[in-house]
Amino acid sequence: MWAQNWKSIMDLVMPFPTSPALDVTSELLRQGYTPLRMFQVGEEFFTKMGLKPLPPEFWRSSVLTRPRRPAQCSASAWDFCNRIDYRIKQCTEVTTQDLVSTHHELAHIQYYLQYADQPQLFRDGANPAFHEALANAATLSVYNMPHLYRLGLYNNKSVTEQPLQLPLSLPHHSASSLSIQMSPKSDDHVNVDDFFNFKRQGSRAEV
């Protein structure tokens, strides 16, 4: 029931399909990035905007790499509802995809941090689509050529001088749009979930 992405139709709608993909995995590896460094870069992304640094409990208790025991590795962010303990579970690998995912999950943590002083009822998003939309706004700000150039991960300096390069920029923006969970498709699946839950609980909501 999750409308996580529309990547399955990417081959049908991708503009300039022969253009190279925006993938900085090899550069991440060449520069010696580790999962920890990826999270540190992610934290800096948010603190430079004036948002809160991650608390010590985050670094002490989060699972940022694959543990030796069997584990379900889908990335997720958690608020332990005590105003100090926030964690991410992500079996991070040094790849472009996980760099983007790291920023996505950290955006969820930032949401929790910003609302930590609110009553418990108001600490979460209005619905899952709202929370995801905020996290994906951060994702779009990270997965673009000028930002990756500023990080020293993308070496084509011309992207900062000539922002409109359609064959180069459109494919990765299209891939981003199809790969992230965002309105309206998120709103649709959230509405279906809500109606299902109301019906299951004996509500009179019409499906």
Catalytic center residues: 105
What distance in Å separates the CA atoms of residue 118 and residue 97, rounded to the nearest whole number?
Answer: 33
Is residue 54 a contact partner of residue 79, using CB atoms and an 8 Å limit? no
What distance in Å separates the CA atoms of residue 63 and residue 44, rounded to the nearest whole number?
Answer: 19
Query: DSSP state, 78?
Result: E
Residue 14, SS3?
coil
- Cα–chain-centroid distance for residue 126? 18
User: Which pair of tokens denotes residue 16?
Assistant: 């300039």
- Is 189 annotated in a binding site? The answer is no
Which residues sit opposite 88 in a β-bridge?
77
What distance in Å separates the CA atoms of residue 164 and residue 4, rounded to the nearest whole number?
Answer: 29
Q: Whose CA is closest to 92, among 118, 119, 74?
A: 74
Q: Whose CA is closest to 134, among 70, 49, 192, 193?
A: 49
- Is 27 annotated in a binding site? The answer is no
Annotated binding site: which residue ranges? 104, 108, 132
Q: Which residues are annotated as a binding site for Zn(2+)?
A: 104, 108, 132
